[in-house]
Chain A
Amino acid sequence: MAKKNKKDSTRRNFLKQGFTIAAGSLLGGGLIAACTKEQGPVATGEKVKVLTADGKLMEVDRGHAMCCNVPSSADVRKGIPGRHFVMVVDLTRCRNARACVKACSKMHFLAPGQEWIKVFLMQDSEDTTPYWMPKPCFHCDTPACVNVCPVGASFKRDDGLVLVDNERCIGCKFCMAACPYSSRVFNWKAPDNQVDAKYSPMTGVPQKVGTVGKCDFCPDSFLTGILPDCVTACPNGVYFFGDKNEDVVTNGVESFRFSDLVKDKAAYRYMEELGTQPNVYYLPPVDRRFPVEEGFESVPDSSKAAYQVKRAHLKKYKI
């Protein structure tokens, strides 16, 4: 508990100081850019090992290595160079503890009932087993939501993230209609209890009335070396977050080589046939650690009924 509080205060601190940090990094970015322009990066003589995008380990001068990976506020729409963020969700471990949902809603100041991560009770057909499936935004590589946005309020970054700029959003909701995974939520009324922070699409905070919000993979956190909140909040280590280029994913406790993990555990992406190219991979729910019934413990009585409703036509056509 103490640990959690500490983490929360770090987060709040970050939000409060968001502007300072952004200004600082802008200044830093500017300085480096100025250096590059005039005399290039200064060689220090000290060598460091880096992994290239195609998986080669190389040794470069530390001065050169510093040049990329300096986030600045100007990068909000471009993303962090050389990165390709992915998430792996291990369905064998999920028991609908809903800690991820709560942490996410708290961090992003979501309205009651609004969820950026949803946990579904899935049953693919009548004879197969039910399982819990957490679903963040898939940050698709061919995102339907970004294609249809008339003003570029939803945008795709080079590092794979799909973010929403709720200061540009006109609230047409076309993205919500276009997203086949219902990943987006709308602020139907002015949200209460918003933090007084400078808005950035990286934090998604504060929420604004008449605009769209969705899971953003918490890019503000991992810029400072912190994993997204859902990853750290999960008591069972369901979420693995990482960089496809670095080929590493971690849930904070265990780390895996991404390519090995998806190969060995036969990972899949939800509804591959839709062609949206998601960046979230699922490890199939084989040998589940928890019985599915346990998941209902954390569901309030008022919303239990939702899990009883089967797809309308299944009853009749027995598909």
Chain B
Amino acid sequence: MNQPELAQKTLVEIVSRFKKPSALSKGLFTFFALVILWAAYAFITQLMKGQIVTGMRDYVVWGIYDVNFIFFIGISYAGAMISGILHLLHAEWRKPIIRIAEMITVISVIIGPVFILVEMGRLDRIFNIFMHGRIQSPILWDVVAITTYLSCSILFLYLALIKDYALLRDNTELKMPKLQRYFYRKLGATYAGLPEQKKLLERALTIMSAIIIPLAVLVHSVLAWIFGMTIRPGWHSTIFAPYFVIAAVFSGTAVLIIAMWVFRKFYNLEEYITEMHFKYIGTILLVLAALYGYFTFSEYLTVWYGSQSWELEVIYKLFNLSYYGVWFYIAAFGGVLIPMILVGFPFLRSINTITIGSVIAVVCMWIKRYLIIIPTLETPLLPLQDARPEYAHYSASWVEWSLTAGGMATFCLFFMIFMKFMPIIPVADISEAPEHKDFISEKL
């Protein structure tokens, strides 16, 4: 069997797995849609009544909307770093999982900024950013960085998809609506696997992955600088940008492992996504967890040892069990050590334990971002002697939790929609004979 025939066979085999939605996926789809509808209702309530319906007040001006923003931009690193770096390293084993990684990137970069929009008091004046934009403001840096990042991520995803779309275009076995076929014809363009086409596409992908890595680093650095540029305890730190970047790659990698597990389990992709993938990505997770733990340790040790009174007040709230202590210890120790232990010891290491470690890491990263934003805002420089004592403390309202749930549901729903139109396993890539010698997978 020659290569195109093999590819077509694999394509039919994979696409038909996603063709018939199971009862479970239908149920989940309905559930996610309902959650999103509920979130829309919450958002309309906020628009009508103002942000008084949120838990945000004059001191804690940013709440879990910002936490979600950082969280989603963070997990977008799955595609950018994993797929980008592994592409540059020519790691052959990456091929079955790059599509999942790149889809995580695009979807989360679409959802993340939405949380900044709902956090704004005057969404109706959003165009002021373009009409009166001031480049001194880190928010403008963010707007520029994220829009560039999103466009590049979409381009990267599409470039990697061209070969598969060409296969779908040429396919005669699969039944699909006319419109879908029309789009495949347009998206697959004229790609026919000619040597010069292959070479060009390969070069484009290499250039894109070289662009997307610094871009991703920049996006999260800029995000960190929104906090780092203010003179507030817990935020005004020189290591904030690299700290955020490491945190982002860490959480992105963990989300990638979870997504791999879900697809492997529910769509029986065992022969494509193997234990080897979990072990390799798990090892990357382990290294990142160690790096992240090191940054956390360095950040808080420096501040605690220096003991400036304003800084110390935030530290005290984080370390003390009657304030945020419990959450801090869970996030800072549990979120780092448990994944490390689960991946680090060979007798514990398995597909399921690596996934459990990733789930813990993702949840703890969300908590950690909460602990970065809220305690600092609850600690103003001047004493908190407000005529409204309820303004002193933040707790998210039902509106904020609803929108958070809506964001998570949108993430899953987008995945379900995306995988209808994009083969979740890069069929063309895996049917190709490896072009480069892959030292890493040979050795291991």
Interface residues of A (CB under 8 A from B): 113, 115, 118, 120-122, 135, 144, 147-153, 168-174, 176-178, 180-182, 184-190, 209-212, 271, 274, 300, 302-303, 305-307, 309, 311-313, 316-317, 319
B382 in complex: contacting residue of A115, A182, A185, A309, CB < 8 Å: A182
Instruction: Please measure, in the bound complex, the distance between the C-alpha atom of A150 and the C-alpha atom of B138, giving whole angstroms.
Output: 8
Most buried by B among A144, A153, A171, A274: A171
**Is the CB–CB distance between B232 and A177 below 8 Å?**
yes
**Closest 8 interchain pairs by CB?**
A171-B121, A210-B121, A313-B316, A189-B52, A150-B139, A189-B50, A173-B61, A150-B137
A303 and chain B: residue at smallest CB distance: B387
Give every chain B residue within 8 A of A211 (Cβ-Cβ): 121-122
* Given known A-B contacts A182-B58, A211-B122, A151 and B129 have beta carbons under 8 A apart: yes
**Is the CB–CB distance between B128 and A170 below 8 Å?**
yes
**Is the CB–CB distance between B61 and A180 below 8 Å?**
no
Give every chain B residue within 8 A of A190 (Cβ-Cβ): 50
Instruction: Please measure, in the bound complex, the distance between the C-alpha atom of A113 and the C-alpha atom of B389, giving whole angstroms.
Output: 10
Instruction: Please measure, in the bound complex, the distance between the C-alpha atom of A113 and the C-alpha atom of B386, giving whole angstroms.
Output: 8
B134 in complex: contacting residue of A151, A185, A303, CB < 8 Å: A151
Closest CB-CB distance, A305 to chain B, in whole Å? Answer: 6
* Given known A-B contacts A173-B61, A309-B384, A188 and B137 have beta carbons under 8 A apart: no
* Given known A-B contacts A149-B137, A151-B129, A189-B49, A313 and B121 have beta carbons under 8 A apart: no
Give every chain A residue within 8 A of B128 (Cβ-Cβ): 151, 153, 168, 170
Instruction: Please measure, in the bound complex, the distance between the C-alpha atom of A206 and the C-alpha atom of B119, giving whole angstroms.
Output: 23
Instruction: Please measure, in the bound complex, the distance between the C-alpha atom of A305 and the C-alpha atom of B129, giving whole angstroms.
Output: 42
> B341 an interface residue at 8 Å Cβ cutoff?
no
> B239 an interface residue at 8 Å Cβ cutoff?
no
B137 and chain A: residue at smallest CB distance: A150
Most buried by A among B140, B231, B307: B231
**Is the CB–CB distance between B58 and A186 below 8 Å?**
yes
Give every chain A residue within 8 A of B230 (Cβ-Cβ): 144, 148, 177-178, 180
Closest CB-CB distance, B318 to chain A, in whole Å? Answer: 11
> B381 an interface residue at 8 Å Cβ cutoff?
yes
**Is the CB–CB distance between B231 and A319 below 8 Å?**
no
> B15 an interface residue at 8 Å Cβ cutoff?
no
Q: Mark B268-305, 1 if CB is under 8 A from A, else 0.
A: 00000000000000000000000000000000000000
Instruction: Please measure, in the bound complex, the distance between the C-alpha atom of A211 and the C-alpha atom of B49, giving whole angstroms.
Output: 14
Give every chain A residue within 8 A of B116 (Cβ-Cβ): 172
Give every chain B residue within 8 A of A189 (Cβ-Cβ): 49-52
Give every chain B residue within 8 A of A147 (Cβ-Cβ): 136-137, 229
In the complex, given contacts A150-B137, A168-B132, A306-B385, what are 8 additional A-B residue pairs having Cβ atoms less than 8 angstroms apart? A118-B382, A135-B382, A169-B122, A171-B121, A172-B120, A173-B56, A313-B316, A319-B312
Give every chain B residue within 8 A of A317 (Cβ-Cβ): 307, 312, 316
Q: What bracket does the count of chain B residues touching chain A fall in?
A: 35 or more
Give every chain A residue within 8 A of B29 (Cβ-Cβ): none
Instruction: Please measure, in the bound complex, the distance between the C-alpha atom of A274 and the C-alpha atom of B116, giving whole angstroms.
Output: 28
Give every chain A residue within 8 A of B49 (Cβ-Cβ): 189
**Is the CB–CB distance between A305 and B389 below 8 Å?**
yes
> B133 an interface residue at 8 Å Cβ cutoff?
yes
**Is the CB–CB distance between B126 and A170 below 8 Å?**
yes
Contact sample, A vs B, 13 pairs, CB 8 Å cutoff = A148-B138, A150-B133, A153-B132, A172-B116, A182-B58, A186-B61, A186-B121, A187-B50, A189-B52, A303-B388, A306-B385, A313-B316, A316-B316
**Is the CB–CB distance between A319 and B387 below 8 Å?**
no
Q: Mark B367-392, 1 if CB is under 8 A from A, else 0.
A: 00000000001001111111111001
Give every chain B residue within 8 A of A312 (Cβ-Cβ): 313, 316-317, 320, 323
Closest CB-CB distance, B175 to chain A, in whole Å? Answer: 49
B388 in complex: contacting residue of A113, A120, A150, CB < 8 Å: A113
* Given known A-B contacts A176-B58, A180-B381, A151 and B132 have beta carbons under 8 A apart: yes
Find residues 348-402 in chain B having any chain A CB closer than 8 Å to their own CB: 377, 380-389, 392
**Is the CB–CB distance between A174 and B139 below 8 Å?**
yes
> B181 an interface residue at 8 Å Cβ cutoff?
no
> B309 an interface residue at 8 Å Cβ cutoff?
yes
* Given known A-B contacts A186-B58, A306-B389, A311 and B309 have beta carbons under 8 A apart: yes
Instruction: Please measure, in the bound complex, the distance between the C-alpha atom of A211 and the C-alpha atom of B61, giving whole angstroms.
Output: 12
A186 and chain B: residue at smallest CB distance: B58
Give every chain A residue within 8 A of B132 (Cβ-Cβ): 151-153, 168
Closest CB-CB distance, A86 to chain B, in whole Å? Answer: 20
Closest CB-CB distance, A124 to chain B, in whole Å? Answer: 10
**Is the CB–CB distance between A170 and B387 below 8 Å?**
no
> B185 an interface residue at 8 Å Cβ cutoff?
no
Instruction: Please measure, in the bound complex, the distance between the C-alpha atom of A151 and the C-alpha atom of B132, giving whole angstroms.
Output: 5
**Is the CB–CB distance between A118 and B323 below 8 Å?**
no
**Is the CB–CB distance between A182 and B381 below 8 Å?**
yes
Closest CB-CB distance, A186 to chain B, in whole Å? Answer: 6
Q: Mark B396-418, 1 if CB is under 8 A from A, else 0.
A: 00000000000000000000000
B50 in complex: contacting residue of A118, A173, A176, A188, CB < 8 Å: A188
> B38 an interface residue at 8 Å Cβ cutoff?
no
